[in-house]
Amino acid sequence: MKVVVTGATGQLGAATADAWEAAGHDVIRFTRCDLDITDYAAVRRVIGAAAPDVIINCAADNRVDAAESSPLPPLAVNALAVGSLARLSADLDATLVHYSTDFVFDGETDRPYLETDLPNPRSVYAMTKSLGEMLAVDAPRHYVLRVESLFGGKTGGSSIDRLWAALSSGQPVRAFSDRVVSPSFVDDVVLATHRLVERQAPAGLYHCVNTGHATWFEVIDHLRQLGGYPRSLLSALRAADTNVPAPRPLFAALSNSKLLRAGIVMPTWQDAVAQFVSKRWRG
């Protein structure tokens, strides 16, 4: 298949392009320099000329806090540009893959969210991502995959990567004991995406997270133990102790049961963290 990947230097974009190429597909990578997805005319001209079978949109403006005071850039990238990619996908008869986030939920629950639960975004960033989900459906063959706390890409910029780097160099770290997450290991997200597209699973919205959920503290403690680092390096932090412009959902666990019904088994978050550690040790 001919596959276009936007945001190809990002954490997910780079891993996606590498994996689809390794699987023998004809991959065209677009970085922001090559193609700004908010330039609708250029998107139509450049991607239209490539005539791909699949467009995988990994481009996003993830500056969650900056979005509160500067909403237009994330609105353009996370929402309006998705609408133009969706309409283009429809015209080209291409499959559109787009990624969203757990932040579309308010976090005021006590059981993992399902795809049928209604979003209630609490921040500007979350609103732009929620709008992007709505606009993606203009592509008849769309997969909107909600991921969460992505980690383990080559860029190494995720929270888990940064905490791992700190632990590895003997620095103390703090992790939230009252924020619940279902993290998404990049390699597992890439594989799940590939399977959905190749098997032509029903189009729609899927939660693409590792199986299970835990507090950030539990996730980082697991990471610490796998690394053999002392317990004294880790201490607990509560959301109320921090002062950030954008509110985050407290209980943000997502259920991946719909993905499972499509025949795609996501490893547990503990297995994913173990895979991450062995990947980092291999260098």
Ligand X SMILES: NC(=O)c1ccc[n+]([C@@H]2O[C@H](COP(=O)([O-])OP(=O)(O)OC[C@H]3O[C@@H](n4cnc5c(N)ncnc54)[C@H](OP(=O)(O)O)[C@@H]3O)[C@@H](O)[C@H]2O)c1
DSSP string, 260-279: HHTT-PPPBHHHHHHHHHHH
**Which listed range, 36-44, 87-95, 171-179, 240-248, lies at the site for ligand X (CB under 6 A)?**
36-44
Which of 7, 74, 112, 121 lies at the binding interface for ligand X (CB under 6 A)?
Answer: 7
269, 213 Cβ separation under 8 angstroms: yes
Q: How far apart are CA 165 and CA 272, in angstroms?
A: 17
184 SS3 class? strand
147 is a site residue for ligand X (CB under 6 A): yes
Our CB check for ligand X shows the closer of 9 and 123 to be 9
84 binds ligand X (CB under 6 A): no
User: Interface with ligand X includes 205 (CB under 6 A)?
Assistant: no
The reply to whether 44 sits near ligand X by the rule CB under 6 A is no
Per-residue binding string, ligand X, 211-250, x by CB under 6 A, is: ----------------------------------------
Q: Is 133 in the site for ligand X (CB under 6 A)?
A: no
Of 1, 19, 23, 62, the residue at the interface with ligand X (CB under 6 A) is: 62
For position 32 contacting ligand X by CB under 6 A, the verdict is yes
Q: Using the rule CB under 6 A, is 193 a contact of ligand X?
A: no
Dihedral sign computed on CA atoms, order 181, 187, 192, 197 = positive
Stretch that binds ligand X, among 53-61, 88-96, 160-168, 271-279 (CB under 6 A): 53-61
- Tell me: does residue 38 bind ligand X (CB under 6 A): yes
What is d(CA 199, CA 258) in angstroms, rounded to the nearest whole number?
15
Between 11 and 84, CB nearer to ligand X = 11
- 204 Cβ contact partners less than 8 Å away, ≥ 6 residues apart: 115, 142, 143, 144
| Contact region with ligand X (CB under 6 A), list: 144-152, 172-180, 221-229, 243-251 | 144-152
Rounded to whole angstroms, how far apart are CA atoms 250 and 97?
Answer: 27
CB of 136 to ligand X, least distance (A): 11
Helices first, then strands: H and E counts in the chain: 11, 12
Q: How far is CA 73 from CA 36, 69, 98, 237, in A?
A: 12, 11, 18, 31
Burial of 74 (0-12, 13-18, 19+ CB in 10 A): buried
Q: With CA atoms as reference, report the closest residue to 12 among 79, 55, 57.
A: 57
d(CA 64, CA 55): 25
Does 255 help bind ligand X (rule: CB under 6 A)? no
Position with the least CB separation from ligand X: 10
Near ligand X by CB under 6 A: residue from 13, 74, 121, 152 = 13
Among 4, 25, 52, 99, binds ligand X (CB under 6 A): 99
- Which residues are near ligand X by CB under 6 A? 6-7, 9-13, 32, 36-38, 58-62, 77, 99, 101, 147-150, 155, 158
